[in-house]
A and B are shown apart, each in its own frame.
Chain A
Amino acid sequence: MSSTAKKKGFGATIWDYLTTVDHKKIAVLYLIAGTLFFVIGGIEAMLIRIQLAEPNNDFVSAGLFNEIITMHGTTMIFLAAMPLLFAFMNAAVPLQIGARDVAFPFLNSLGFWLFLFGGLFLNLSWFLGGAPDAGWTSYASLSLASPTHGIDFYALGLQISGAGTLIAGINFLVTIINMRAPGMTYMRMPLFTWTTFVASALILFAFPPLTVGLFFMIFDRMFDANFFDHLNGGNTIIWEHLFWIFGHPEVYILVLPAFGLFSEIFATFSRKRLFGYSSMVFATILIGFLGFMVWAHHMFTVGLGPTANAIFAVATMAIAVPTGMKVFNWLLTIWGGNIKVTTPMLYGLGFIPSFVAGGVTGVMQASAPLDYQLHDSYFIVAHFHYVIVGGIVLALFAAAHYYWPLMFNQMLNETLGKITFVFFFVGFHCTFFIQHFLGLMGMPRRVFTYQGDQGWDLFNYISTIGAFLMAIGVILLVVNVIITAIKGEPAGRDPWKDGRTLEWAIPQPVPYYNFKQTPLVRGLDTFWIEKMEGNKEGMTYAEPISDIHMPNNSFIPFMISFGLFVAAFGALYHQDADKAWSLPVLIAGLAITFLSMIVRSLKDDLGYHIHKEELMNEKGGKK
């Protein structure tokens, strides 16, 4: 296993990635798949903005418009933002805590393939009779009445990819609890590890309600159940509750890791210890906790009553407190620092005011009486794009530049990176700032067109121009990646020169077994401590060189996920009387999945050892 793969052909590389259980390669898989979906979602966004550029436009039809906005939101949240964050978590977290790999390498790969096949399934709806069209929130009163199979693609696809997400969450929890290197106490963990930890806990508790809600929807649509059908005693509000009990924590699942990434970046490029580390940890946990208490702020206009609305309004406003703590800590980290404005740092500096603006509109919406005015208007669209683009997407772009040398041993071009930032950042504010006013002027969200001369025309036009600027930014980033890959200059270890945490202490390219000897952690920012003390190697070791136990590659995760993918088609078409092949397909798909699981459990897979002698001769490097 360890010695066969020196020079690999194309086919062998593909096979390697299909079977890999190495967190570093799975990170690359997440990055590629997430980028693919990000581009698809981005194209959908452009179509939306083109349609809305002028009044009474007929660029797309009303029905198609509904499909596009639904797929844009669903794709961006579930198939772009989450996987891209998982990419950086996989790339950095095991290294940050000095681990050999994640706790369950096999499950790590299973989580990825489930996500990918779920996402593919959802997107195939475009070619198979129509995409879902009830919004990314898929409210039952709309979705039960949707005539095409789109909603079924939504429910089954999210079910599969959601299972992958849950698995990934559990995996990170166990990894962070059990696999930390000696000396890596909880209060010495880098903030990206901390936020990954809390976000994983949120995944654990937030995804089951979504799973259940999706099952109800599948049952109602496919098996004539009555959960949401009021004629038979059902209640459509149940879906709204379940969706938002999931949905609000979900936005924190996304934004907490983004906070973590920026915390690393601010400390690194201010060349200063993160200000208020313990209060950052505390704020992260508090946000995670409060995130479960506020879901009904999405339902102020449903009619839950003044008491419920008041409680949820106050709880929602309370979240602004720990969030504010974080903002001040970042500012004070930068304050008096020895600042280097690299591309990631530039994104960080853009992030703070953008995200604060989104938080302020959030608190406005949290005031229930005001929300009666704002709800379902473009104001909401502006709010959540300020937090999601201004928070998460900026963090993803920053992390792409920051962690590119860690993942690929190459530096993205800094100049081009800064130009990218300018286009994207200006475009972002140009697109969304003006939407606040569109909302206040009464333009509802999710409308496919509008009448002219209501004072909305110019603002919509400006918003569309902004979207094009953002698109240019994204294209520049892709160009940057291509140029960098062609140049192929190795970046080497600690390429930013200011790395503080363990992931920068490891040689480049990162050996497939990670640390040859488990490091000994002597404090927060342990790599920085070693550097300051003049340690040339940058690490103190907790053990002598000894045999390393490694997991075997496996094709089974791919097969398990593929089986579910096939089965989902069977389940979906089983509703159509004229599709007799659907039942055999359903059974065949489930058979593939279960047979793969049985093979997994009957065949002992104990992994292999890299022997001490081999390690001694090894200079590091990828295999």
Chain B
Amino acid sequence: MDLKTKFTPQSWPAHPENATLEGKNKTLGFWIFLGGETVLFATLFATFLALKNKGPNGMEFSTQSLFELPLAFIMTMLLLTSSLTSVYAMYHMKNHNFKAMQAWIAVTVVLGLGFLGLEIYEFYHYVHLGFTFTQSAFGSSFYTLVGTHGLHVIIGLAWFILLMLRNSKRGLNLYNAPKYYLASLYWHFIDVVWVFIFTVVYLMGVLD
């Protein structure tokens, strides 16, 4: 594979992420990796369910007293929308429209940063109330589950940003197309995990 081949939208393959053996391997390997990540999150969810609302005798914190659905809802909307914008970016990637792709990724990053900002605010707020990582088993499991997701968001954002910067001058080729594709796949995964967090942690926490 060489980087010099210049593509036009006409000569660009329909599945650029799978057009080379390297690309094919990376795509498959990444899907498999996401399988492992799924188990990792499943474990964190299970632990959270086992430990939610558990703490020292007479603990005042509970999912009902802490969580605010409106905030969690806004965060959900931001992340869902960012997933959509990353789909647009991939659409343009497949059409070999580099500029549009970069632009949509930038929008994705901005939305992701918004999500991250709200999450930091939320954590800050809880810590302020005295609900910390070390306060109770509930606290440990909550911050570990939601925080691990937050860490994934940070990694996803850093990945997008580095890709945009690294390739800003050289455009799309078969070497970096799989990288873009996988970064966006990762982003979708993060989004799906959040949907579960929203349901299991926030909705089920407030409702029952």
Chain A contacts to B: CB under 8 angstroms: 103-104, 166, 170-171, 173-174, 177-179, 204-205, 207-209, 211-213, 215-216, 219-220, 223-227, 229, 231-235, 238, 242, 245, 549, 601-602, 604, 606
Q: With both chains docked as a complex, state the minimum distance between the C-beta of A397 and any C-beta of chain B, in angstroms.
A: 32
Q: With both chains docked as a complex, state the minimum distance between the C-beta of A196 and any C-beta of chain B, in angstroms.
A: 14
| A234 and B137 in contact, given A208-B36, A208-B39, A606-B2 (Cβ under 8 angstroms) | yes
B180 within 8 A of A: no
**B47 adjacent to A226 (CB under 8 Å):** no
Q: Which A residue's beta carbon lies closest to that of B25?
A: A103
Q: Shortest 8 CB-CB distances between A and B: which pairs? A: A233-B54, A233-B137, A208-B40, A225-B140, A234-B137, A233-B55, A208-B39, A103-B25
Picked from A174, A204, A211, A219, the residue with its CB within 8 Å of the CB of B25 is A174
Q: Interface readout for B1-14 with A: 1 if CB under 8 Å, 0 if not?
A: 11100000000000
Picked from B40, B50, B56, B139, the residue with its CB within 8 Å of the CB of A212 is B40
Chain B contacts to A: CB under 8 angstroms: 1-3, 21, 24-25, 28-29, 32-33, 35-37, 39-40, 43-44, 47, 50-51, 54-56, 59, 133-141, 144, 162, 166, 175
Q: Which residues of chain B are near A212, meaning CB under 8 Å?
A: 40, 43-44, 47
Picked from A211, A225, A229, the residue with its CB within 8 Å of the CB of B40 is A211
Q: Which A residue's beta carbon lies closest to that of B35?
A: A204
Given contacts A170-B29, A178-B25, 4 further A-B contacts (CB under 8 A): A103-B29, A177-B28, A204-B35, A226-B136
Picked from B2, B25, B138, B166, the residue with its CB within 8 Å of the CB of A602 is B166
**B56 adjacent to A204 (CB under 8 Å):** no
Q: Which residues of chain A are near B55, meaning CB under 8 Å?
A: 226, 232-233
Q: Which B residue's beta carbon lies closest to that of A601?
A: B162
Picked from B2, B44, B54, the residue with its CB within 8 Å of the CB of A234 is B54
Q: With both chains docked as a complex, state the minimum distance between the C-beta of A530 and any C-beta of chain B, in angstroms.
A: 26
**Chain B interface, >50% SS class:** helix
**B33 adjacent to A170 (CB under 8 Å):** yes
| A233 and B136 in contact, given A170-B36, A212-B40 (Cβ under 8 angstroms) | yes
Q: Which residues of chain B are near A604, meaning CB under 8 Å?
A: 3, 175
Interface centre among B35, B138, B140 (most CB of A within 10 A): B140
| A104 and B29 in contact, given A212-B44, A227-B51, A601-B166 (Cβ under 8 angstroms) | yes
**A606 adjacent to B175 (CB under 8 Å):** yes
Q: Which residues of chain B are near A177, meaning CB under 8 Å?
A: 28
**Chain A interface, >50% SS class:** helix
Q: How far is the CA of A220 from the CA of B29 in the complex (A)?
A: 33
| A104 and B25 in contact, given A223-B134, A234-B140 (Cβ under 8 angstroms) | yes
**A242 adjacent to B43 (CB under 8 Å):** yes
Q: Which B residue's beta carbon lies closest to that of A103?
A: B25
Picked from A174, A211, A231, the residue with its CB within 8 Å of the CB of B56 is A231
**A232 adjacent to B56 (CB under 8 Å):** yes
**A205 adjacent to B35 (CB under 8 Å):** yes
Q: With both chains docked as a complex, state the minimum distance between the C-beta of A223 and any C-beta of chain B, in angstroms.
A: 7
**Pairs A–B under 8 Å by Cβ, sample size 10:** A170-B32, A174-B29, A204-B35, A209-B43, A216-B140, A219-B144, A223-B134, A225-B140, A226-B55, A232-B135
Q: With both chains docked as a complex, state the minimum distance between the C-beta of B41 and any C-beta of chain A, in angstroms.
A: 9
Q: Which B residue's beta carbon lies closest to that of A204?
A: B36
Q: Which residues of chain B are near A602, meaning CB under 8 Å?
A: 166
Q: Which residues of chain A are near B138, meaning CB under 8 Å?
A: 233
Picked from A213, A225, A601, the residue with its CB within 8 Å of the CB of B134 is A225
Q: Which residues of chain A are near B50, meaning CB under 8 Å?
A: 235, 238
| A178 and B54 in contact, given A226-B134, A227-B140 (Cβ under 8 angstroms) | no
**B28 adjacent to A178 (CB under 8 Å):** yes
Q: With both chains docked as a complex, state the minimum distance between the C-beta of B17 and any C-beta of chain A, in angstroms.
A: 14
